[in-house]
């Protein structure tokens, strides 16, 4: 038929089988009695793929650099911690509510900040994340209650086995991958990319740019909040400095940049690559591994300025002609 059209179901059959096959292998993986370390490492990779994908949905596609996504991770972690330890709620209900709470913060934050362009949006989101960390730290002292427990942190009920988290993160990662895939092929995906390329032209072509940006920001916040909740249960003990840490933001951004912003596979490749490279380096060079990782990141970005996946796709496009 017409060649330009990419419908939701037009992903080549081969890729569908490949993705399904990989997920199936991952699903039966724990049956092989792997060490706790391997399961934990795999769960970590799933979590970072999911987090990098969250960032990609908003910043990757629109080019609006969110420099405070950790705020929704922290909000999700605290919501789950409070719901489970204070409210006695079950885990799955708690993480879904945590995602909703994150959205309730994201919409009023997104509406004014997403009118800002370029570096101003990055600064605003960064400031919001830092401010929320301070709120979590100082709330009890200022208000005079015992609620968020400040820097003492909150302890959650003891969680189940590593396998439980392995599967939870595997499911979340899969859901995010599918969500990104559907967004990319949907009306919304085209609008997000149009905003990235020429926002004024998009608005003049009938795209309600503010609404689309806020929607993407809210979707991103929803999943980030859920992941924050799962991680809190996994860690069983959270403090503001841990779950609102700027390092989580930086990891999300770097993984996405390394893999390729605005590509479906970019966060998957970036997060896997960075985690798999840093683990053995950390084990061998516990004091210098960050320097080595820094060098690796610089080399990859210089050689592949659009990220691993982004640059490969571009080369294929150029090589394959029109």
Binding site for another protein (CB under 8 A): 2-5, 7, 186-187, 190-191, 193-194, 196-198, 200-209, 317, 322
- Nearer to another protein among residue 152 and residue 211 (C-beta): 211
Rounded CA separation 4/54 (Å): 28
The minimum distance between CB 123 and another protein, in angstroms, equals 25
Q: Name the token pair of 226.
A: 């859920």
Minimum CB separation of residue 283 from another protein in Å reads 40
When the beta carbons of 12 and 200 are compared against another protein, the nearer one is 200
Residue number, 77 or 207, with CB nearest to another protein:
207
Nearer Cβ to another protein (194/218): 194
Shortest Å, Cβ 281 to another protein: 34
The residue among 207 and 255 lying less far from another protein, judged by its C-beta, is 207
Alpha carbon distance 69, 48 (integer Å): 13
b/e map 259-269, b = 16+ CB within 10 Å: bbbbbbbbbbb
Distance, in Å, from the CA atom of 291 to the CA atom of 311, rounded to the nearest integer, reads: 25
Q: How far is the CB of 1 from another protein (least distance, A)?
A: 10
| CB 269 to another protein: min, Å | 19
């Amino acid at each position: 038929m017409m060649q330009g059209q990419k419908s939701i179901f037009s992903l080549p059959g081969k890729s569908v089988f490949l993705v399904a096959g990989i997920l199936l292998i991952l699903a039966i993986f724990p049956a092989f009695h792997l060490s706790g370390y391997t399961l934990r490492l795999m769960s970590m990779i799933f979590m970072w793929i999911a987090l990098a994908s969250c960032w990609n949905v908003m910043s990757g596609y629109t080019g609006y650099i969110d420099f405070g996504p950790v705020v929704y991770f922290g909000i999700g972690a605290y919501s789950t911690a409070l719901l489970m330890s204070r409210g006695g709620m079950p885990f799955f209900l708690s993480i879904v509510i945590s995602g909703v709470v994150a959205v309730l913060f994201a919409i009023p934050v997104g509406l004014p900040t997403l009118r800002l362009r370029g570096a101003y949006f990055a600064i605003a989101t960064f400031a919001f994340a830092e401010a929320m960390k301070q709120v979590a730290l100082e709330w009890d002292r200022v208000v005079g209650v015992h609620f968020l427990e400040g820097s003492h942190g909150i302890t959650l009920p003891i969680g189940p086995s590593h396998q439980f988290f392995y599967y939870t993160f595997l499911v979340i990662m899969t859901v995010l991958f599918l969500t990104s895939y559907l967004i990319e092929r949907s009306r919304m995906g085209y609008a997000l990319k149009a905003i990235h390329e020429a926002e004024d032209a998009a608005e003049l072509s009938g795209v309600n740019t503010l609404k689309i940006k806020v929607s993407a920001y809210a979707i991103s916040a929803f999943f980030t909040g859920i992941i924050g909740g799962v991680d809190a249960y996994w860690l069983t003990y959270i403090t503001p400095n841990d779950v609102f840490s700027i390092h989580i933001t930086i990891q999300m951004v770097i993984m996405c940049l390394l893999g390729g912003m605005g590509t479906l596979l970019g966060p998957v490749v970036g997060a896997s690559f960075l985690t798999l490279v840093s683990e053995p380096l950390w084990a061998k060079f516990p004091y210098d591994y960050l320097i080595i990782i820094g060098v690796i990141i610089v080399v990859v970005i210089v050689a592949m300025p659009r990220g691993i996946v982004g640059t490969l796709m571009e080369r294929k496009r150029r090589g394959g002609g029109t």
